[in-house]
Amino acid sequence: MKSGTVMLIGRPNVGKSTLVNNIIGQKVAITSPKPQTTRFAIEALYEDPRGQIIFVDTPGIFNKATDALSKKINSQTLQTLGDKIDLVLYIVDPTRKRDFEEAKVLGIVRKIDKPKILVVNKEDEEQKYLPQYKFLESEFDSVVSVSALKRKNIKTLLDTIFEKLPEGEALIDKKDYIYPALNMDSTVFIAELIREKLFLQLRREVPYTATVVVDEIKERNDSLTYIRARILTTTDVYKKMIIGAGGKRIKEFGSMARVELEGATGRKIYLDITVEVDKHWMQTMA
C-alpha cells in the first residue's frame, strides 16, 4: 500500500481548507471568504484501497505579521515544514495577482527537498492572472488544475498524490479517532466551528480580534448535549458588534453553529454562548 504525509502550503485564502474538506468528504478545517481563517496546522486522514494519506492543512503564510497571534501563525507554519512530510501541495489562486506574499511562500517551497505538486485552484472562476503562474510549472513534479469548491479534478489530484507517495505501512488506525481532524479534540472542534460562523457573519477586522473558548460539554440526557462557550474579543466596541442589536447577531451565528453541530453529532444541541472582553488574549494564547 501507499502511505505518506502531504502538506498543503499557500498564501492566505487560496482554498487550502476547502480543498482538504472536500477531499476528506467532511468538515475538517473551517473556511470563510476572509484570509487568515486557519490559525494552526490541521491534520486529517484520507483512506482508500490504495493506502492512507495524512493531509496537513497549514495556515496561510502572510507577508506582514504585526501582532503576536499573526507571528505565531507564521512561525507554526514554518515549523510544520521541518516535520516529516513526504509530499508538498503548493496551492495557487490565479484569480489573484502574484504579490510579495506569493513570492515569500514560493521561496519557502523552493527550499523543501520533497516531491512537489503545483495545484492551480479555482478552475471554476475566471483565472485572469494565470499567465503569471505558468512559469512555475517546470519547477514541479506535476501540475493539477482543480476547483476545490466545486470538487472538480479532485480524483485526478488524488491519483497524482498516490503515484508519488512511497510504499509503506498504514500510518494510523482510523477507528482510534472520533473527529475528522486527527489533532483536534471535541472542545477545539466546537470552538473552531463557532469561530467559522463568527467569521461568516462579521465584517472588517472584528473576526481577527476574537477567539472562542469552550468551557463545558455535558450530555444532559440521551439526546441533548449542553455546550457552554465564550467568545473573547479585545474591546467593548467589538463585543457590542458581535452581540448585535438586541442580541440578534450572536443568535444568528449561534444558530448556524448549533444546526451544524446537530448534523455532525446526531444529537440535539443547547449552545450557550457569551462574549467577554480580554484585551490580551492574543498575547496569552500566542
Does the annotation place 116 within a ligand binding site?
A: no
Does the annotation place 25 within a ligand binding site?
A: no
Q: Could you write out the three-class secondary structure of the chain?
A: CEEEEEEEECCCCCCHHHHHHHHHCCCCCCCCCCCCCCCCCEEEEEEECCEEEEEEECCCCCCCCCCHHHHHHHHHHHHHHHCCCCEEEEEECCCCCCCHHHHHHHHHHHHCCCCEEEEECCCCCCCCCHHHCHHHHHHCCEEEECECCCCECHHHHHHHHHHHCCECCCCCCHHHCCCCECCCCHHHHHHHHHHHHHHHHCCCCHHHHCEEEEEEEEECCCCEEEEEEEEEECCHHHHHHHHCHHHHHHHHHHHHHHHHHHHHHCCEEEEEEEEEECCCHHHHCC
Does the annotation place 222 within a ligand binding site?
A: no
Does the annotation place 145 within a ligand binding site?
A: no
Does the annotation place 32 within a ligand binding site?
A: no
Does the annotation place 243 within a ligand binding site?
A: no
Does the annotation place 94 within a ligand binding site?
A: no
Does the annotation place 217 within a ligand binding site?
A: no
Does the annotation place 16 within a ligand binding site?
A: yes
Does the annotation place 194 within a ligand binding site?
A: no
Does the annotation place 183 within a ligand binding site?
A: no
Does the annotation place 114 within a ligand binding site?
A: no
Does the annotation place 61 within a ligand binding site?
A: yes
Does the annotation place 74 within a ligand binding site?
A: no
Does the annotation place 14 within a ligand binding site?
A: yes
Residues annotated as binding site?
A: 10-17, 57-61, 121-124
User: Known binding site for GTP: residues?
Assistant: 10-17, 57-61, 121-124
